[in-house]
Structure 1
Amino acid sequence: MRLFFAAAVLALPTALHAEPMSLDDALRLAETRAPELQAREAGLDAARSAAIAADRLPDPKLNLAIQDFPVTGPDAGRFNRDDFTMQVIGVSQDFPNPAKRRARATRAQADIGIARADEAVTAQDVRLATALAWVDLFYAKKRLKELDLLDAGLGDLQATVTARLASGAARPAQALEPDQLRAAINDRRSALAAEIARARAQLARFTGDPVADTAGDPPPPTVDEATLRAGIDALPRLRALDARTLAADAETGLARADKRPDWSVNAAYGRREPNYGDLVTLGVTIDLPFFSKKRQDPKIAARASEATRARLDREAAKRDITAALDADLADHRMHHEQLGNARSRLVPLAKKRAELDLASYAAGKLDLGTALLSTLALVEAEVDALAREAEVARDAIRINYIYGETGR
């Protein structure tokens, strides 16, 4: 039903999702439309179906035979001329030992756990990529808006230059300086337009909306370090390694079960020439694992070593995640400090300098080029502050989505 619903959603017209979307809306769309998640769901369904048959008995076997048919002597090639030839019909049933059947069931359940853990890892990756694309698009649009505001203000400045040229208070070359600044702004606008296109393409890749756009504000860039550290063991990537460790243990149990004999029962009915009586055969076949030191024991040791490796890989992964969390938290603190410095010092200083230089230009004490460079520096400071704000938001999303999503 989930796969059917997802296919139905994919078939809906794009116009249904053409409006700007909040971050939560984008995440919900990605969870419904991302093909990776649908593939993992199909894999989980496959594992569940396979588990149904894991510990079942093998199918019975039907045996049809002509037994003791003469090929030499006076009765060669003839049926029912002696008391040996029989038409036999029989059935047999294999019975793997109970330990082996339990081990197969455990292995099948481990496969379900692996499929479920892989689905959780993929869901985490999809949500993270979607959220980062949304934030990148949001802040790229915001930085572009700052450039547009500067570009709009150049019209007033151009009028001022024209008036000064008419009065003879400015050199003719100064009439070109606003256009030069506008050209520099256009270069930055082109870069931001490309950044917007990349972010929109990434957002469309997961939401399925080719004209994906943002609405609303990003979440607060807060991080609860204590909660993140307490939940490391429940992270999807470690749960996936836990599932693989259980699968390795199940393989070890399956190898140990090979030391116990399997057995089978069979029954057959033999029909002979009417002058002789028919025969019934009943039998039991039992495996004899007499040479376990050369057969089963090496396999058990190999599987046990693989289980040990799985546990060590899990421990190594936990250490890697802990170290990565420490590094990401350090970067987040650094970006917070840089953002605070931009807001409290760099932008106010650039704004004050631009105001003073424009006032000096208006008073005829400063050339227009220097005043314009100060104005451009102010815009660059504001755009840089937005870039730092975006970095802080990206940090918070990465940290919360990578280290904090334990229940999905």
Structure 2
Amino acid sequence: MMSKILLASLLIIFSLTSSALGLHEAEQLALQRADELRQYENKHQALEAQAIAAGQLPDPSLNIAALNLPVNSFSLSQEAMTQIQLGIQQAFPKGHSLKYQYLNLHNQSLAAKFQQELQKTMILKTLREQWNLLYFWQKSLQILQKQRRTFKQLEKVTRSLFANNKVPQKDVLNAQLQLSQVDERLIDAQQSIETTQAELARWIGKEATRRLNAASLATKGQPESKDRLQEKLACHPILKAERADIAAARDKIQLSRQDYLPGFNAGLAYGFRQGRENITGRKRPDFLTGVLTLSVPLFPESRQDKKLLATHKELCALIEKHHASYKELYKQLTKNWIDYQKSEKKLMLYKNKLLPEAKQYASSTLIAYQNNQSDYINVAQSHIYLLNLQLSALKEEINQSQAQINLLYLQGQ
């Protein structure tokens, strides 16, 4: 079993070094493959096209009519009022309705564009988290492999001492047990690597996943100051999309106000007549007709007033939602800033004290055991403690990087 694990580890290392795919390339590939981004892009373009269409005058209507036909003969020349009429009508919406219809849909299209930006930042955040997870399990595998060699050496030491009747057989059995437990953790780490790679394949594909080289964390350097991060918070895609929704709601209010104004239709018709006048014998003149129709809002209490009230309430709801979103994002900013600083202090403690002290203690217990001055249980516990401490330090690196990933997300990056 262990030979298979070691072989798989060597294959992973070989595949990573052959044609490695870095984080930046993986991010670009994930964005290119993201169906979610194309979904919002199509929505943005659809709303923008609707906005342009909504800002245009309605199509004019062409009317052709036969007026005042005598039913006894259906003759066009029998009666003086009989005519064939050709007319055109154009509707003119109320006030500036066309302007606000355009602006309303245009701002909705901007909201869709900002939602696309939000989806982009969420994809990058997810990819970076999976990248860090792959880094964690690959580093864990390396730490476990190194500690396995240590426990293998401890097993040889106990066998040698047991052969010379210097230690009881239980020490040999204990050493074998510790080695088997490390083997179990190696299997878990290998399975976790494969699971994480499967998650990454959802974003960048199987072929690209095989070329991933998570040799470092997804984040580098220090985050910006908290004040600077707070300034950038206002440009988060969530807030930009909500501001676009608020602008669309304001346009909707203005559109509702136009309902208090009259709308009108203008029409012009030309009537062709046949036949001659009975008295003079002259050809009958044609008729020209002009029509202007007004829609007058005489009873606004039950319609226009209620519609305007509804749009005001919609605007108030969106403003409150915007305030709540900012508070939530600011809370996340504060939390992740604190988490980053806390991890920074803990990592310094691991580096300067805990890990050096644990290594020194593990080395001293082994020397004492070889000199028959200590029990094997102390040796095993010291090395297990060192192993767990190394993994805890690695986990704290991931925690710090996760806090920085969250801060990048809050900046819209």
Q: Shorter-chain TM-score: which interval?
A: 0.7 to 0.9
TM-score norm. by structure 2 comes to: 0.85
**Contact 2:78–2:275, Cα closer than 8 Å, also in 1:** no
Is 1:402 aligned with 2:403? no
Q: CA deviation at 1:280?
A: 3.1
* Deviation by residue 1:141-172 (Cα, 9 ceiling, x = unmatched): 11111001111233333332332233233333
Unaligned segments of structure 2, at least 5 residues = 1-14, 277-283
Q: CA deviation at 1:56?
A: 0.7
**Contact 1:221–1:397, Cα closer than 8 Å, also in 2:** no
**Contact 1:221–1:392, Cα closer than 8 Å, also in 2:** no
Structural RMSD (CA): 2.4
Question: Which amino acid counterpart does residue 220 of structure 2 have in structure 1?
Answer: P
**Contact 1:58–1:93, Cα closer than 8 Å, also in 2:** yes
Q: CA deviation at 1:129?
A: 1.0
Is 1:23 aligned with 2:20? no
Corresponding position of 2:139: 142
Matches within 5 A, 1:364-383: 364-383=372-391
Q: CA deviation at 1:247?
A: 0.6
Q: CA deviation at 1:191?
A: 3.1
Pair 1:269–1:342, CA change in 2 (3 A) = same
Aligned with 2:374: secondary structure? coil
Matches within 5 A, 1:2-401: 19-70=19-70, 74-75=72-73, 81-208=78-205, 209-211=208-210, 213-218=212-217, 219-220=219-220, 222-224=222-224, 225-275=226-276, 277-399=285-407, 401=408
Measured in 1, the distance between the counterparts of 2:167 and 2:21 equals 50
Measured in 1, the distance between the counterparts of 2:182 and 2:67 equals 96
* Deviation by residue 1:279-315 (Cα, 9 ceiling, x = unmatched): 3322121221222233212212221222122222212
Q: CA deviation at 1:32?
A: 1.7
Corresponding position of 1:9: none
Measured in 2, the distance between the counterparts of 1:162 and 1:390 equals 39
Q: CA deviation at 1:118?
A: 0.9
Aligned with 1:283: secondary structure? strand
Aligned with 1:266: secondary structure? strand
TM-score norm. by structure 1 comes to: 0.86
Question: Which amino acid counterpart does residue 213 of structure 2 have in structure 1?
Answer: T
Q: CA deviation at 1:338?
A: 2.5
Measured in 1, the distance between the counterparts of 2:134 and 2:263 equals 63
- Percent identity over paired residues: 23
Moved more, 189-198 or 324-333: 189-198
Corresponding position of 1:4: none
Question: Which amino acid counterpart does residue 390 of structure 1 have in structure 2?
Answer: I
Question: Which amino acid counterpart does residue 351 of structure 1 have in structure 2?
Answer: K
* Deviation by residue 1:50-107 (Cα, 9 ceiling, x = unmatched): 2222211111112233333455xx44x7766544444433221111245111111211
Unaligned segments of structure 1, at least 5 residues = 1-14
Aligned with 1:156: secondary structure? helix
**Contact 1:263–1:285, Cα closer than 8 Å, also in 2:** yes
Aligned with 1:365: secondary structure? coil
Q: CA deviation at 1:273?
A: 4.7
Pair 1:172–1:216, CA change in 2 (3 A) = closer
Aligned with 1:31: secondary structure? helix
Measured in 2, the distance between the counterparts of 1:28 and 1:178 equals 48
Measured in 2, the distance between the counterparts of 1:262 and 1:20 equals 67
Question: Which amino acid counterpart does residue 230 of structure 1 have in structure 2?
Answer: E
Question: Which amino acid counterpart does residue 290 of structure 1 have in structure 2?
Answer: L
**Contact 1:203–1:212, Cα closer than 8 Å, also in 2:** no
Question: Which amino acid counterpart does residue 334 of structure 2 have in structure 1?
Answer: D
* Deviation by residue 1:354-385 (Cα, 9 ceiling, x = unmatched): 11211121112233343122212111111111
Measured in 2, the distance between the counterparts of 1:373 and 1:323 equals 41
Q: CA deviation at 1:340?
A: 2.5
Measured in 1, the distance between the counterparts of 2:67 and 2:191 equals 82
Moved more, 247-256 or 207-216: 207-216
* Deviation by residue 1:189-217 (Cα, 9 ceiling, x = unmatched): 23333432343233222223343523442
Corresponding position of 2:6: none
**Contact 1:94–1:264, Cα closer than 8 Å, also in 2:** yes
Aligned with 1:230: secondary structure? helix
Q: CA deviation at 1:236?
A: 1.4
Moved more, 327-336 or 228-237: 327-336
Measured in 1, the distance between the counterparts of 2:258 and 2:131 equals 53
Measured in 2, the distance between the counterparts of 1:66 and 1:192 equals 87
